[in-house]
């Protein structure tokens, strides 16, 4: 009995002590939780119990971080330190509000990269354009309202609340804190995982593992700093390798005839939603017409090594081979070799500004738009991105400058990227398919989901129209065009799933997410001048191909001679 009583007293003292930082610094705790946990709670109210686990983690980890801050304030117990903490907190709040209202972005590695690349003239333009804008004043107004609320809380806490919180209340708070802090400590392993990441591609996977992570400025700062550290370690390697290659192993041309080579990189194209691969709906009429004319060759066994754009693109555009254990950042960027050989390289990318604050965009753009890559690989690039890929082609027609007789063009499309309804103009010619046309009859296909499938098929139809414009543009020239998608997707095809869920890699999931469409289009002029290549392409339609070996196919079609070309990796040379 005595031992039990002693244990109860000890527990009571522990719970009381545990509650002291929260009780004494309650206003800061409330402000911090209101600001950092709001997104999680809004997500819960919007999505219901389906998001309950993630919301619980988010609230508990916010509680843990708030408790650490309150403990620090209670330990120092200096007014100047408390004011300093509030100032830092509200500056972070203002920056977040400003970025969100002005650019619809949060603190991210991209923001710090842009700041590092900004010169004094651009800072002046930025100041006059954005800092003095109505969005800035709105952000400032919201921050000042929160400051006023904090002052009122501090006053009410000192005057009324603190004297009313007795020992029983403190013990109750301590008891409530124990499970929340325990879950928060467990959730805080995300920081340990963050600092074990070795590649920028892994940032996106980290965010997927911890969807509740980026709900405060401190975590965003840590994630941004580590992302920049990883990029600073990765990208200079590929840049160094590329510059060394250009200096010591010059790429050359096998002939001097005029030639256009076009590389079109699609996005999230499920090959099984193309009638060229057996889909019941005519989603690719232009591609089908060119196939029937004998100009288009459909490759049947193309695959992507990954199901994320940044990983695919970085391995696709460098000369490494994953099957041989080669890293992308230890091999040269193949477009730099194309340009050195004598081609004018025109790079038109409709995703460069698509998701500027996202980790996958930062991971990819840190390579594609590194100053040395831009200088050595591209002769001209687009200046802006567009809502639709057709507008990207309009921009190309208006601004692309053709100089000389060798042109290598790259179009990186938005394609059928999530959400498909936003990937095509809402015009009658692109609204061909309705929910009633969807050929599948799975039990999970509600009317809303059938509409999403119909939207995807219409986006595929629009993608076909975009590619068809390129066929028309180069129909009477000596041109070879290659189209492939970065990866596939799922739109309720074999299970109740939309997007790319990274669960167990089953044959069905591989079929829809990793198998990709690949087409080679050869203009009539090209076919007359290169009959041997035509035969090679015709015989390659059933060859197995992984997209990280793309450079070898492009070297072959472009007639570029380099030591990095490997015939055994070339789709049409095997």
Burial class (CB in 10 A: 0-12, 13-18, 19+), 384: exposed
Higher pLDDT, 9 or 404: 404
Could you read off the pLDDT of 524-569 as tens digits, one per residue? 999 999 999 999 999 999 999 999 999 999 999 999 999 999 999 9
Pair type for strands 406-412 and 259-266? parallel
What percent of the chain has pLDDT above 90? 61
Burial class (CB in 10 A: 0-12, 13-18, 19+), 437: middle
Residues contacting residue 313 through CB under 8 Å, at least 6 positions apart: 265, 364, 368, 412, 486
pLDDT band, very low/low/confident/very high, at 117 (cuts 50, 70, 90): very low
| Element holding 346 (H helix, E strand) | strand 344-349
Q: What is the structure's pLDDT at 178?
A: 87
Could you read off the pLDDT of 482-533 as tens digits, one per residue? 999 999 999 999 999 998 877 788 999 999 999 999 999 999 999 999 999 9
What percent of the chain has pLDDT above 70? 90
User: What mean pLDDT is predicted for residues 365-381?
Assistant: 95
User: What mean pLDDT is predicted for residues 239-244?
Assistant: 95
Q: What is the structure's pLDDT at 44?
A: 59
Residues contacting residue 251 through CB under 8 Å, at least 6 positions apart: 337, 338, 340, 341, 560, 561, 562
CA-to-CA separations, 134 to 123, 126, 561, in angstroms, rounded = 18, 14, 56
Q: What is the structure's pLDDT at 218?
A: 77
Could you read off the pLDDT of 168-210 as tens digits, one per residue? 888 888 888 888 889 888 888 888 899 998 887 788 788 878 8
Q: What is the structure's pLDDT at 19?
A: 86
Residue with tokens 């009658």: 428
Residues contacting residue 36 through CB under 8 Å, at least 6 positions apart: 62, 65, 66, 215, 216
When mean pLDDT is compared across 56-60, 387-391, 525-529, the lowest value belongs to 56-60
What's the CA gap between 228 and 363, in Å, rounded?
9
SS (H, E, C) 226-243: HHHHHHHHHHHHHHHHHH
Beta strands in 172-304 (DSSP E): 252-253, 259-266, 296-299, 301-303
What's the CA gap between 253 and 331, in Å, rounded?
21
The pTM of this model reads 0.78
Q: What is the structure's pLDDT at 16?
A: 81
For the chain, counts of helices (H) and of strands (E) = 24, 13
Query: CB-side exposure of 131: number of CA atoms within 13 Å?
Result: 7
Q: Of 420, 496, 489, whose CA–CA distance to 452 is shortest?
A: 420
């Amino acid at each position: 009995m005595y031992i039990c009583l002693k244990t109860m007293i000890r527990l009571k003292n522990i719970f009381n002590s545990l509650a002291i930082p929260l009780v004494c610094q309650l206003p800061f705790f409330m402000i911090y939780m209101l600001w950092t946990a709001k997104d999680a709670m809004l997500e819960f109210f919007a999505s219901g119990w389906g998001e309950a686990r993630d919301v619980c983690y988010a609230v508990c980890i916010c509680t843990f971080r708030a408790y650490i801050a309150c403990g620090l304030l209670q330990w120092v117990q200096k007014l100047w330190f408390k004011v300093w903490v509030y100032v830092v907190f509200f500056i972070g709040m203002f920056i977040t509000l400003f970025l969100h209202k002005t650019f619809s972005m949060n603190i991210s590695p991209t923001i710090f990269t842009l700041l590092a690349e900004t010169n004094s003239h651009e800072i002046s333009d930025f100041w006059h354009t954005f800092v003095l804008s109505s969005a800035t004043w709105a952000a400032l107004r919201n921050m000042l309202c929160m400051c006023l609320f904090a002052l009122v809380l501090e006053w009410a806490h000192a005057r009324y609340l603190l004297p009313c919180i007795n020992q029983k209340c403190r013990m109750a708070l301590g008891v409530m804190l124990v499970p929340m802090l325990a879950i928060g400590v467990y959730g805080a392993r995300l920081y340990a995982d963050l600092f074990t990441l070795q590649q920028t591609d892994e940032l996106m996977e980290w965010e997927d593992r911890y969807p509740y992570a980026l709900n405060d400025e401190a975590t965003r700062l840590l994630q941004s700093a580590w992302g920049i550290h990883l990029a600073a370690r990765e990208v200079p390697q590929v840049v160094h390798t590329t510059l060394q290659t250009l200096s010591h192993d010059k790429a050359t041309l096998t002939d001097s005839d005029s030639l256009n080579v076009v590389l079109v990189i699609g996005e999230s194209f499920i090959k099984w939603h193309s009638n060229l691969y057996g889909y019941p709906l005519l989603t690719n009429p232009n591609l089908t017409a060119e196939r029937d004319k004998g100009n288009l060759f459909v490759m049947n066994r193309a695959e992507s090594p990954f199901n994320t754009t940044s990983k695919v693109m970085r391995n696709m555009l460098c000369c490494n081979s994953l099957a041989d254990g080669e890293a992308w950042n230890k091999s040269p960027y193949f477009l730099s070799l194309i340009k050195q050989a004598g081609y004018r390289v025109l790079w038109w990318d409709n995703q460069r500004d698509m998701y500027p604050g996202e980790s996958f965009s930062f991971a990819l753009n840190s390579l594609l738009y590194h100053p040395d890559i831009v200088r050595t690989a591209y002769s001209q690039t687009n200046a802006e991105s567009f809502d639709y890929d057709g507008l990207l082609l309009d921009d190309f027609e208006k601004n692309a400058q053709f100089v000389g007789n060798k042109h290598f063009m790259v179009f990186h499309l938005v394609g059928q990227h999530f959400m498909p309804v936003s990937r095509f103009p809402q015009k009658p010619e692109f609204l061909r398919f309705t929910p009633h046309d969807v050929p599948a009859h799975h039990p999970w296909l509600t009317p809303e989901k059938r509409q999403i499938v119909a939207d995807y098929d219409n986006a595929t139809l629009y993608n076909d129209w975009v590619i068809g414009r390129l066929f028309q543009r180069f129909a009477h020239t000596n041109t070879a065009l290659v189209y492939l998608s970065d990866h596939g997707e799922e739109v309720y095809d074999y299970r109740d799933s939309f997007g790319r869920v990274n669960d167990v890699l089953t044959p069905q999931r591989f079929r829809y997410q990793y198998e990709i469409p690949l087409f080679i289009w050869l203009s009539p002029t090209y076919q007359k001048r290169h009959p041997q290549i035509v035969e090679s392409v015709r015989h390659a339609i059933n060859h197995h191909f992984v997209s990280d070996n793309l450079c070898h196919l492009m070297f072959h079609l472009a007639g570029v001679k380099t030591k990095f070309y490997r015939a055994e990796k070339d789709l049409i040379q095997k």
